[in-house]
Amino acid sequence: MGIRILIIISAFFLNNVLAKDVAIYRWVDENNVVHFSQNQPTSKGYSQLTTFSSYRANKPKNEMVNDEELEAEKLATEFDLKQKEIQIKNKEIFKKNCSAAKLNIKMLNSFKKVLYTDPDGKSRILTDKDKQEQLDLSEKHIELYCDKASS
């Protein structure tokens, strides 16, 4: 009875291979079709791919780590840091755009006549229709930027 359980447990662990341990092969056939497989192709024109995961399992401190694992962990850490930097910059941009949209609405509602200067440097007084379009645009900017600036 004990031997059966040992065989079953051994078979279970042998069949459960981690994703990082699976070889993936890539090759192009005679019809110029790209193939991917876990089975090594019989032709010679193939390349073996490795998988990369940002999952980092806890390892005992005394366990040696190879150079590939160190490099993968370094890349994952750098990627995470860059993502956080981008998120911080985006929050700052959203906050500025939110403030600008709120100020635009305040200015458009505070004055009967609004002097508008276009990107070419030409100035004109907004018509009621133009003023309403600017108000609508500023409202859309508030919806777009203000919720994301606070989160």
The two tokens of residue 55 are: 């999952």
Domain encompassing residue 37: 1-55
What CA–CA distance (Å, rounded) separates 113 from 151? Answer: 36
**131 vs 15, higher pLDDT:** 131
Do 8 and 20 touch, CB atoms closer than 8 A? no
**109 vs 20, higher pLDDT:** 109
39-90 pLDDT, tens digit per residue, is 778 777 777 776 655 555 555 555 556 777 788 888 888 888 889 999 998 8
Inside any domain, residue 73: no
Same domain, 33 and 96: no
% of the chain beyond a pLDDT of 90: 26
Inside any domain, residue 77: no
Inside any domain, residue 70: no
Using alpha carbons, select from 151, 97, 149 the residue that is nearest to residue 105: 97
Using alpha carbons, select from 73, 19, 79, 17 the residue that is nearest to residue 49: 19
Inside any domain, residue 69: no
Inside any domain, residue 72: no
pTM comes to: 0.48
Give the domain-ending residue among 55, 75, 101: 55
pLDDT at 31: 78
Residue 138 has a CB neighbour count (10 Å cut-off) of 20
Same domain, 50 and 88: no
Same domain, 92 and 150: yes
Inside any domain, residue 14: yes
- What is the domain count for the chain? 2
Same domain, 50 and 92: no
Inside any domain, residue 150: yes
Inside any domain, residue 24: yes
Same domain, 143 and 90: yes
Same domain, 51 and 6: yes
Same domain, 91 and 44: no
